Amino acid sequence: MALSFSAKLMRGVSRCAALVTPKTAPTSCRYFSSAENSRVLVNLNDKTGVATMQLNRPPVNSLNLEVLTDMTIALDKLQTEKDCRGMILTSSSPGIFCAGLDIMEMYNPQEDRLREFWRTLQELWKMMYGSRLATIAAINGHSPAGGCLLSLTCDYRIMAQGKFTIGLNETLLGIVAPFWFQDTMVNTVGHRETERALQLGLLYSGENALKVGLIDELVSPEKVMETAEGQMQMWLKIPDFARQLTKEQLRGPTVQKLAQHQEADIDHFVNFITKKAIQKSLEMYLNMLKQKKK
């Protein structure tokens, strides 16, 4: 019998439930996952109640089924820690926050895995967007497509200055950002800017992202984490209950919309991605990424 998503989550939680506390760790800092080969590195500072989640899938932190699953499990675990109040999402590879979804999950896919991949992304998005935690994205590098989406699920975005770009560029790959990607963008930058950005597949520079409100702050790369930590202190001055209810009122309807159409959205995704023309577009885009190096 197929396991429900929450059953799979519980199985995953029990598999990685042991908290690892390396001898060298400060006593206030608990590591949920610190092994260098973990795809997601998570630690919780018991003094501040702030967790840090680092994407750790070099070279570009592209999101495959395993990374999405690990993130979901880690977030679920943090949210059940009653003393955890905030989370900073960042990357262990300065220069790349996240290259978005792993295109290899969508190219020549096996249908069962493709369905599971999309469902896991949906679940992660719902958890992140509706999280009881105050969440801040410390965007320390490029953040296209799914990377931009991840940062948009946070309550506040701080990006590193430099040549990095951010945006929902799906149309450049010949694919379409689904309604819940679009909703998240509309809720952040407004309808008109979303129309322009998504149709053109705009990748914004940090300066332009700041102008349209896609990010909240642009700071030098070495200041990204300390700015995130400083900002988090402000968010945590607000009583949790009041902040969480306010967030729920503002974001709940958007989360509910996906929850109500989740199965249909998976069917749409699978039908769309497995079309010959879409597979051709993905192949061309992958070749373009490889050619770029030569």
| Residue among 84 and 173 whose Cβ is closer to ligand L4XM7KOE | 173
Q: In the range 44-63, which residues lie near ligand L4XM7KOE by CB under 6 A?
A: 59-60, 62
Which residue among 144, 152, 167, 266 contacts ligand L4XM7KOE (CB under 6 A)? 144
Q: Are 66 and 117 in contact (CB under 8 A)?
A: no
Of 152, 170, 214, 258, the catalytic one is 170
Which residue among 74, 103, 166, 209 contacts ligand L4XM7KOE (CB under 6 A)? 103
In Å, how far are 90, 156, 160, 235 from 165, measured between CA atoms? 15, 17, 10, 26
Q: In the range 149-188, which residues lie near ligand L4XM7KOE by CB under 6 A?
A: 169-170, 173, 175-176, 178
d(CA 262, CA 267) in angstroms, rounded, equals 9
Which residue among 200, 234, 245, 289 contacts ligand L4XM7KOE (CB under 6 A)? 289
Helix (H) or strand (E) holding 52: strand 50-55
Q: Is 61 noted as a catalytic residue in this protein?
A: no
Q: Are 282 and 150 in contact (CB under 8 A)?
A: no
Please calculate the CA angle 258-122-65 and round it to the nearest 5 degrees. 165
Read off the DSSP letter of residue 20.
B
201 binds ligand L4XM7KOE (CB under 6 A): no
Tokens of 282: 């993905």
Least separation in angstroms between residue 157's CB and ligand L4XM7KOE is: 17
Q: Is 101 noted as a catalytic residue in this protein?
A: yes
Residue 13 φ/ψ region, left for φ over 0, alpha for ψ in the -120 to 50 degree band, beta for the rest: alpha
Q: Which residues bind ligand L4XM7KOE (CB under 6 A)?
A: 59-60, 62, 96, 99-104, 142, 144-146, 169-170, 173, 175-176, 178, 268-269, 272-273, 289-290, 292-293
Active site residue ranges: 101, 146, 169-170
